[in-house]
Amino acid sequence: MPRTTLALDDEVFELAKDYAKNRSLTLGKAVSDLVRRGLRARPGVREIHGLLVFELPADSPRVTPDSIKRLETDDL
């Protein structure tokens, strides 16, 4: 297993420590579990009047016509 050093925000570090403590895990195992869960997470999707709508987290940036235009013109 590779070893590395990560710089985490203070809040994220505390949340990961609590997660590890509550599950009797090492901090490294806890962070690995949380990253794995986050990468596997799928956004919620529902259909409204035949249109698929993504359910974004409350803290997501607003989707505006201007932001869509910028995305459409970006080179991917």
CA distance 46 to 54: 7
- φ/ψ (deg, to 5) at 12: -65, -40
Quick one: 30 and 51 in the same domain? no
Quick one: 36 and 24 in the same domain? yes
Quick one: 16 and 33 in the same domain? yes
Quick one: 34 and 48 in the same domain? no
Count of domains forming the chain: 2
> Which pLDDT tens digits describe the chain residue by residue (76 residues)?
888 899 999 999 999 999 999 999 999 999 999 999 999 988 789 999 999 998 888 888 888 999 888 888 876 5
| Full residue range of the structural domain in which residue 19 is found | 10-40
pTM value > 0.75: no
Instruction: Evaluate whether 16 touches 34 at the Cβ level (below 8 Å).
Output: yes
